[in-house]
Every structure is written in C-alpha cells, then in structure tokens.
Homo-oligomer: A and B are copies of this chain.
C-alpha cells in the first residue's frame, strides 16, 4: 500500500505550489524533486491564482509569514479549493505569537484543508483556539509518549474529525489520523530535530503524496511520514565520523531520492489504532 503511494508520486510527478518560509524553502524544493514531485514557489497575491491553477496541490506553511504572504495564502487557498486540489496547512509557530495563531485559525476556518501537519504544540493551539478547551483537547499532553498514547490518539482523531482533515502530529512518535483510524509511526531519528526544516520538507512531501493518491489520503499521508522518518534513519546510518547536522540534511534528501517502494514497505514501522 505505502509502496504504491510512493510509486504513484514517481509516476505522475505532481506539481506542488508552495507558499512557504524563506528559511527552508530550498530544502523543500529539493526534497520535492527527490521524492518525484515538482515544486513551484510563489507568494505574491497577484501571482498565486495563476500559479495554483497550473499546479495540482497547495502547501501552505506560515513559518515566516508577513502581511503580503498571508494575503497570498488566502487567495491561493480559495482558488485551490475551488479547483478541488489537496490543501495542506503547516501552522509553524502557532501558539508562539498572536499573528501566527490567528492566521492559522483563520486559514482553518476559511479553507477546507485536506491535511494539517504540525507538532503537538501547534496542533493543540489550533484545537484550543477553535473554541473548546474541554474534554479531549485539554487532556492533550505536550509530547506524545508510549504512556499517553491512547489519549493522544483520541485527540488526533477528534481534531481530524472536527476539521474534516487528515491530521499529522509529528514528533518522536508520529500520529497520522482521520476521524476513525490513526497510524502510530515510529520511524525517524532524534537527530533530525537538529536540522532546520525536516517538518517543512515533510509537509511538502505529504502534499505531493496527497495529489498522487487522492482516494487514499490517510494512507498516503502515513506513507509520506514513514518515508521521511525512514530517510532520516538511512541517512543517519550513512553519516561518517565528524559529519554533523549540515551533511545529515543533505543525506536525508539524498535518501528520499533513492527510496523505492520495496524499501519503504520494508522499513515503515507503524501500527494502526
């Protein structure tokens, strides 16, 4: 299943429009090429309607948002929705500033996202911000651990249900859920957190996987998360003595480049709850 998700990307070269931050944008472009997709970046409000129309999916990342790019996110998002394209929201820093929180919530309330991907802190901010501070949301912890897994799986499913979107909460343990099913994924390496942008890269890959697998959004999203984690593992195994986070960054993208269906199927480590 995951293998065919990967092959569908490589066989169709989905063109993904990214409105993303300038910190990690080069890595986002290269990892999209590495996974078999094709990137376009555009964040001028007057440009994005045309660009989104020639693409097949839209990845919105608020990492270095400004007023111009926020406007572009809404313009592009509306057009992408009208075209029926998969939309992904990466709410970078939601909770860290009022502007980020309100922008992420406003995007969430205005557009219909196919996928939302963030860390637990960002997703909790969105969950609380959308009105309810009770029940499952308030029970959500600040990290996903083996001990609180049941609660967090329920939180992920609930968030996915309320937002009608596949929800990916990534961290040491990754959760990828729709309202009914949650993949609990244990790929990846802790050293990935010492590289800027692995989350941004994953969001871009997930958008490409959604485009290429429109009828299997949950599985495709989980496949993308396993792919990125597995790439982190393979790249770590290839690090030589003295190599650090900069070379590790390159080797992860290289690993995405070489991963095929069989390797993904073999290396994916997950359970379904």
Contact = CB atoms under 8 A, between A and B. Distances in A.
A157 interface: no
A144 B70 CA distance: 39
A251 B245 contact: no
Contact of A196 (B26, B50, B96, B197): B26
A254 B247 contact: yes
A65 B41 CA distance: 10
B66 A30 contact: no
A26 B29 contact: no
Interface stretch (A1-9, A17-25, A112-120): A17-25
Given A27-B26, A34-B246, A99-B47, A39 B254 contact: no
A98 interface: yes
Contacts of A244: 34, 253-258
A112 B92 CA distance: 30
| Assembly stoichiometry (copies) | 3
B21 A24 contact: no
Give the bracket for the number of chain A residues in contact with chain B.
35 or more
Contacts of A43: 64, 66
A33 B96 contact: no
Contacts of A242: 238, 254-255, 258
A129 interface: no
Given A50-B99, A51-B97, 17 more contacts: A22-B22, A22-B41, A26-B27, A26-B196, A33-B196, A39-B196, A44-B66, A44-B67, A47-B66, A50-B96, A54-B96, A238-B242, A242-B258, A244-B256, A245-B253, A246-B257, A250-B250
Contacts of A33: 194-196, 245
A166 to B, nearest CB: 27
A243 B254 CA distance: 5
Contacts of A96: 40, 50-51, 54
A35 B244 CA distance: 11
Interface of A: 21-27, 29-30, 33-34, 39-44, 46-47, 50-51, 54, 63-68, 93, 96-100, 194-197, 238, 242-247, 249-258
A25 B22 CA distance: 8
A44 B26 contact: no
19 contacts: A23-B39, A24-B26, A26-B27, A33-B194, A34-B244, A41-B64, A44-B67, A47-B97, A51-B93, A51-B97, A66-B68, A194-B257, A242-B255, A244-B258, A245-B253, A245-B257, A246-B250, A246-B254, A246-B257
Contacts of A194: 33-34, 257
A251 B98 CA distance: 38
